[in-house]
Structures are given as structure tokens and as C-alpha cells.
Structure 1
Amino acid sequence: MKNIALYDADQVDHLVWPENVQDITADSPAISVFTDFHHYEPLVIDADTLALDAEQMMKRSHVRLKLVIDRDAECVGVIALEDLSDSEVIKKVANGFVRKELRVSDMMRRKQDLKVFHYDDLERMNVEQVLNVLKQYGHQHCLVVEHAHHQIRGIISASDIARKLKIAISIQQPPKFAELYLAAIHR
């Protein structure tokens, strides 16, 4: 292998910027904050992966959500890092699962239980409208589907939008009935 040297940076002053940087605002088209799987490889994990291994992999790679695929590489759901938390694992163990045998398929959010954006709607929306929908449903991430082709086309991420808008976005899960009930009886 040829020796390659590093050089001093003292003679370099200017930072190169992309030629066509797109400033994102709340009025920008929603498509500008959409991760399109035609251009970016989806982050996936096998449904049979051990849950404890999945949590470690996701933490090491700083990934908060992965699409769960079956043996045929078809999407069967999503797994968020929060789905692998100790409290979620304890719930499963309380229901008879063995902690070290839990799989991603045991912890994931099943595809049929997910709410998604339609790509056609996304083409007509702006960033602010997308954020309002994410807040309304309490979703940090939302898949985008293209029904005409029966495809999961991409994903929208509230944290990606926050980064592009350079703002803090707080999206809270809507309270569950049991939480509302407990809050009401303890007043």
C-alpha cells in the first residue's frame, strides 16, 4: 500500500458549501423533509433478531427507528428504540415471555397497526402541515406509502424536520385511556 500523508490545515481558510442548498421553512413543500427510499436505503432489521441485540445495535448506530422485515425482505412493522426500553421488556416478561428470548417481532409495532402518510397527500402538503399531523397523532416518525405501487416509499422524521428548521420540536404521545382515568380519579 502506498504511503499517504496528512497535511497541515494552516493554509486552508474557506469552507465549501453545496451549490444548491435549500433553506427549509414551515412553508416549504413536505417533500423537502421526506426521506425517499428511491434515494436512500431504508434502515431495516430482521424480525427474528433478539430484542436485546437490536437495542444495542440501534444505540451504537444512533438510530431511533428501523423497519422490521421478514425472511422475504417484506416490511412487517417498525421498531423504535423506545419499544425496546426496560419498561417495555418488563411488560413482556410479565406476560410470560423470557427476557433473553424476546425478538424484535415480539416488541415491534405491526404494520397493520401503523398510521401512514400517503405520498400523493405529501406532495400537496407543506412542512408545517406535516408537523401538525405528527403532533396530532403523537408520532416521532411516520411511514409514507404509495398505494398505486403497493410500496412503502419513505419516512418522515420529526427530529429530521427539527434539525432542518433549526428548532426544537416536542411531540408527545397522546395519553392512553388508563392514564387519563388514573389522573381523573387522583384529583
Structure 2
Amino acid sequence: MTNIEYTPIASAKLENGASFHRTERIFDLIKLDDPAIAVMTDLKKVSALTIAEKAPIDAANARMKHRGVRLLLVVNDDDTVVGLITSTDLHGAKPIQHIQKHGGTYHDITVQDIMTPQDKLEVICMEDINRTRVGNIVATLKQAGRSHALVVDRHERENKQVIRGIISASQIARQLDIEIPTTEIAKTFAEIEALLASA
């Protein structure tokens, strides 16, 4: 073994006003015939973003903005998923309807007041994701009139459903390299269908 002498690296002072790099989400471009898993955010690889059901919706909005997402899983004290909340829930008609029905102000509303509860959520099985194509996912979201889908598999020992992934229409559009000037679902799918027709 040779004796190598390593010299120290020169250091400097951190400058005033320095910032830091933030992780960029880089999506691979895809085609409609690619495997469906190409558009799924895999929660085995990326941490799920959650919020407590009793949190104020201001906190949900801040978390979405900070993390650059449009959906949070809503959990109870045991970390069981009790629903989900989207940016559409926060900025659409739900808060106004809640105030009209129950009184109070926007700042009084909690996540559980306007979330989509667990018993209203439809999911896709991971087995189906593994054997279908991106085009099947687009058709599924369009039929359901939704901008997101949850993907589940089963806990090996307890045989309970576990949310394995999240699929987003806006992410699919980005991966198809389609510009979406609005977050409206209908517009998203009109853009995706236009790509289908030109293919």
C-alpha cells in the first residue's frame, strides 16, 4: 500500500445572502404507450406528503406551496389515511359552501371540513399499474373526472391496503411535454387528447 499524502482543500467564508439548492423534480418524457408506472409517484421512493385532519386549511395551503404539490394525504393521529385534500378543494367552492352552511371565516376551516373523505376515494391497484399503459391512466382519469389517482397495494403481513403511489394529470401532461395554461381537468385532457389525435 502506497503512502499518499492528501492536502487540505482551501476554505472560504460563507457569503452574506447565500442561498441553497433545492431539489428539482425532473420528469422523463413519455409516450402514451409507455408503461403506466412511468407516471406514478412511487411512495417507496418519494416521501408521502401528509397533513393532519384537524389542521387549518391555511396550513394545508402553505404546505402545498412550500413543497410544490397540489395534493396532500390527510391522516389522523395514528397516521391512518382518512382522506385527501387538493389545491382545488382549497381554492374552489368548498370553503365558501362550508362558511355558508356553518358560518365562520376561511381561517376557521379545517382540512377535515373540506377534504374528500376516505370512503369517497377510489383507488387503482398496483397490479393494474404494472400491466397497463399511460394511455389507460389518461382514460381512467378522464372517465372519473379527476386530476389525481391513488394507487394501492397490500401490506404483506396485515393484508391491509397501503397507498403505494399517486398519479397526477398535470404531471402526466408535463411528461408528455404538453403546456397546460390552467389547472382545469377538462383543459388538461383536451390537451392530452390533442396529442393523441396528432400521434
Query: Into which bin does the TM-score normalised by the smaller protein fall?
Result: 0.7 to 0.9
Aligned match of 2:113? 106
How far 1:5 sits from its partner (Å)?
A: 8.2
SS at structure 1 position matched to 2:170: helix
CA RMSD of aligned residues (A): 2.5
Aligned match of 2:12? 3
| Contact 1:51/1:104 (<8 A) preserved | yes
TM-score, normalised by the number of residues in structure 2: 0.71
Aligned match of 1:172? 186
**Residues 114-125 of structure 1: pairs in structure 2 closer than 5 A:** 114-125=121-132
Structure 1 gaps of 5+ residues are 7-17, 174-187
Task: Provide the C-alpha distance between the structure 1 equivalents of 2:103 and 2:86, rounded to a whole number of angstroms.
Answer: 19
Question: Does 2:162 correspond to 1:155?
Answer: no
CA shift in 2, pair 1:125/1:103, >3 Å: same
Aligned match of 1:178? none
Task: Provide the C-alpha distance between the structure 1 equivalents of 2:170 and 2:30, rounded to a whole number of angstroms.
Answer: 14
Aligned match of 1:134? 141
Q: 2:110 is matched by which residue type in structure 1?
A: R
Aligned match of 2:65? 59
How far 1:112 sits from its partner (Å)?
A: 1.0
After TM superposition, where is structure 1 displaced by more than 3 Å over at least 4 residues in a row?
Answer: none
Deviations 1:121-142 (A, max 9, x none): 1111100111011111111110
Deviations 1:23-73 (A, max 9, x none): 521110001111111111011111111112322332344321111111111
Task: Provide the C-alpha distance between the structure 1 equivalents of 2:132 and 2:104, rounded to a whole number of angstroms.
Answer: 45
Task: Provide the C-alpha distance between the structure 2 equivalents of 1:140 and 1:60, rounded to a whole number of angstroms.
Answer: 20
How far 1:102 sits from its partner (Å)?
A: 1.3
Task: Provide the C-alpha distance between the structure 2 equivalents of 1:86 and 1:75, rounded to a whole number of angstroms.
Answer: 23
SS at structure 1 position matched to 2:33: coil
What is the aligned-residue identity percentage?
A: 35
| Contact 2:41/2:167 (<8 A) preserved | yes
Which deviates further from its counterpart, 126-135 or 57-66? 57-66
Aligned match of 1:41? 47
SS at structure 2 position matched to 1:128: helix
2:76 to 70, 77, 82: 70
> How many pairs align?
159
Task: Provide the C-alpha distance between the structure 2 equivalents of 1:165 and 1:149, rounded to a whole number of angstroms.
Answer: 34
Which deviates further from its counterpart, 102-111 or 54-63? 54-63
SS at structure 2 position matched to 1:71: coil
Deviations 1:137-184 (A, max 9, x none): 1111100011455211111111111111112476339xxxxxxxxxxx
TM-score, normalised by the number of residues in structure 1: 0.75
| Contact 1:37/1:153 (<8 A) preserved | yes
